[in-house]
Amino acid sequence: MLASFLSVTQNLGYPALAVFVGVEALGVPVPGETAVIFAGLAAASGRLSIVAVIVVAAAGAIVGDNIGFVIGRRGGRALLERPGRFEKERRRVLEVGDPFFERHGPKAVFLGRWITGLRVWTSWLAGASDMSWPIFLLFNALGGAAWATSVALAAYYGGHGAEHVLSQIGLYGIPVALVVFALFAWWWWRRRRGRTQTGE
């Protein structure tokens, strides 16, 4: 399955990565970060360029966030509070995001990139909160570039690490390791349960 996804990533390439990241940043809950992770893994296998992955992901995040900011400025709050489908979830976004954004301001724009819920809604909340666009643009650009770099590189070096482990232990080493881990977990659970029953 992983090989198939990596093959799709290679075939669709950077445009698909930009679309996934940009649409997520725009406020649509699609797996943008997952796309960056798989693109980083594809780069680790030599199918994509890690530098291009970082640049495309950062650009998609920044462009999408700024479009989301404009939407939020021109009526995003009214849309989120509008009665109808997913109203509870949309209002929950405001309940969580508003206090966080009000307290931390620009830091929320920067750090929101690494928080799943806020990554989708930060730009809308920034626009709805009448944040200054130049300040938003600055911290959003810094956050988008840092996020794309950290996520892509983590996947890239993680992919190299996985390849190294596989080359050392071989394919059959994985089920053996899983069995050993399962036996250890079972032993640990039985030991803990015994202590609980004896009141230790």
Please indicate, yes or no, whether residues 52 and 77 belong to a single structural domain of this protein.
Answer: yes
Domain membership of residue 128 as a residue range: 2-169
pLDDT at 9 over 60: no
Please indicate, yes or no, whether residues 24 and 100 belong to a single structural domain of this protein.
Answer: yes
Average pLDDT over residues 113-141: 85
pTM over 0.85: no
The pLDDT score that the predictor gives to residue 191 is: 67
pLDDT digits (tens, 9 = 90+) for 56-89: 999 999 999 999 999 888 877 777 778 878 778 7
The string of DSSP codes covering 125-184 is HHHHTT--HHHHHHHHHHHHHHHHHHHHHHHHHHHHHHHHHHHHH-TTHHHHHHHHHHHH
| 71, 128 Cβ separation under 8 angstroms | no
Please indicate, yes or no, whether residues 117 and 63 belong to a single structural domain of this protein.
Answer: yes
